[in-house]
Amino acid sequence: MNQDAAYTIFLIFGFIWIALGILAVIALFRLEKQPLQFGKWGLLVTLSILIPFVIALGIAALMSWKHLTFLV
């Protein structure tokens, strides 16, 4: 198995765990009969986590291409 395949499997399992965590939090809120509300602070925290994550994955994808190694 080459390194790219192992990295892909690792990312897929990571995304599955993130999705399961989000679903678990939603399920806990729904059990307590609380409505799901997202205020401006929740949005700020979510974006401050997701934006660097997406940027890092984008840079990693660009760096994995052989013809774009000048970014190193």
pLDDT tens across the length of the chain (72 residues): 566 676 778 778 888 988 998 888 888 878 777 777 778 888 888 889 889 988 887 777 777 765 555 555
- The reply to whether 4 and 27 lie within a common domain is yes
Structural domain total, the chain: 2
- The reply to whether 5 and 24 lie within a common domain is yes
- The reply to whether 45 and 31 lie within a common domain is no
- The reply to whether 12 and 42 lie within a common domain is no
| Model pLDDT, residue 2 | 60
- Its domain, for residue 43, covers 38-72
- The reply to whether 23 and 48 lie within a common domain is no
Burial pattern 21-54, b for ≥16 Cβ within 10 A else e, equals eeeeeeeeeeeeeeeeeeeeeeeeeeeeeeeeee
- The reply to whether 1 and 31 lie within a common domain is yes
